[in-house]
Structure 1
Amino acid sequence: MTSLDALKWRYATKKFDENLIIDEGKIDIIKEAFNLTPTSYGLQPIKMLVIQDKKLQSKLREVSFNQQQVSTCSHLLVFCIEQKIDKEFIQKNFERIKEIRNTPDETLAPFRSFLINDFSTKNEFEIAAWAKNQAYLALGNILTVCAYEQIDACPMEGFVVQKYDEILGLKEQQLSSCLVLPIGYRAKDDEFAEFKKVRRPLKDVVLEID
């Protein structure tokens, strides 16, 4: 399957086959893909919860406007953003860079200082908006990887953030949920699987400048 074939194959799955479970090897690929997602400044202000527990999925379905995908999927992925991007968070990132790349501190210092100063001027809403953009990058990446691995998925914003945070104990971890992605395998009777894709003509969405 080519990359385009995979993208044509995927759709927002509305009904999963509850008896089909994604094997651990595929889940490991998804985890690695999440971690390899590019983020602004390379700061990775996001985390992903992988939930397979059916009781917990059912509880979350209740605060997801009763959308069946949340509890019928194989695994439920919850994308979260860090609530605190401060000097310590940024410094830890540069410590990793120094350790992995053996980059001299004098080389890292100017950019590190810039980021610390820049984020110190942002309020919590600005930081949350920036972090959420990174979560969308990760979501797009995971959707593509799932398609390539022929794993079905349904990206969702339709859930009560505060309730998710409460049920999953995210506040204590200084996290906040922002996106949900049920993954698994489509049910044979999911009528949405047969729908033709509706997209604008390519000439209307891609502009070429010679």
Structure 2
Amino acid sequence: MTHAKIQEALEWRYATKKFDSTKKISAQDWKTLTDSLTLAPSSYGIQPWKFLVIENPAVREQLKPVSWGQTQVTDASHYVVFLYKETMDEAFVQKYINRIAEVRGAPLEALDGYKEMMVNNLVKAPEEKIRVWSQRQAYIAMGFLLETAALLKIDATPMEGFDPAAYDKILGLEGTGWKSVATVALGYRHSEDSYQNLKKVRFADEALIEYVK
């Protein structure tokens, strides 16, 4: 993909306010979008996140009132709720270590040092610190999803305007150790969404980017 195509996609995307509910994302495109989530980077590579794809229309209708009535919840082709791991425990670290050994064919004992480092830095850290850290990790994955969608010319709206506690209750997350932190609606803009015609407003490069030499 050329630099010009990437620039065009970045200029084209916007936080879609009104989706065309009749247009659906193809299975091939959706697989690429989910790849952007599963391949997103995270600290230690441990992926303290989950992504709930809400396909049930009735559940989406339940979520809409606690999302301040935003129509993207029900009208978008796909609706993803980003979850973060509230606390880190040794069992989760071991699960990740086992996965490393499986994928790379490494003996478990060779990973003892890496496991110990994660236990010391994550499991033994204050719970509030881990909550904040885990939430930040989820936003890294969101960024990958948003840019991938733009490159595919699929509209996406990142959303924080909802009641997380209500989401957790509706989605059966209470007591699971996972909590909702943000959502992304994906699909195709409605022709009546006037926001698509507005010029993108950003500060100039020199106001945002500084070079330390």
Please, what TM-score do these two structures have when normalized by structure 1? Answer: 0.95
2:140 is the alignment partner of 1:148:
no
2:144 is the alignment partner of 1:130:
no
Cα gap change, 1:39 to 1:198, in 2 (>3 Å): same
2:172 is the alignment partner of 1:169:
yes
Instruction: Point out the more displaced range, 113-122 or 61-70.
Output: 113-122
* Aligned counterparts of 1:173 and 1:22: Cα–Cα separation in 2: 30
2:183 is the alignment partner of 1:180:
yes
| SS class of match (1:92) | helix
The structure 2 residue matched to 1:209, chosen from 163, 188, 212, is 212
Q: Is the contact made by 2:52 and 2:80 (CA closer than 8 Å) also made in structure 1?
A: yes
* Aligned counterparts of 1:163 and 1:19: Cα–Cα separation in 2: 28
Q: CA RMSD for the aligned pairs? A: 1.4
C-alpha displacement of 1:106 = 4.5
Instruction: Give the corresponding residue for 2:27.
Output: 24
Letter of the 1:5 counterpart: E
2:68 is the alignment partner of 1:65:
yes
Identity %: 37
Instruction: Point out the more displaced range, 92-101 or 185-194.
Output: 92-101
* Aligned counterparts of 1:89 and 1:106: Cα–Cα separation in 2: 17
C-alpha displacement of 1:104 = 3.8
Please, what TM-score do these two structures have when normalized by structure 2? Answer: 0.94
Instruction: Give the corresponding residue for 1:2.
Output: 5
* Aligned counterparts of 2:133 and 2:146: Cα–Cα separation in 1: 21
2:53 is the alignment partner of 1:50:
yes
Q: Write out per-residue CA displacement over residues 126-170 of structure 1, whole angstroms, 9 at most, x where no aligned residue.
A: 111111001100110000000011110110111000110110111
| SS class of match (2:159) | coil
Letter of the 1:207 counterpart: E
* Aligned counterparts of 1:185 and 1:82: Cα–Cα separation in 2: 31
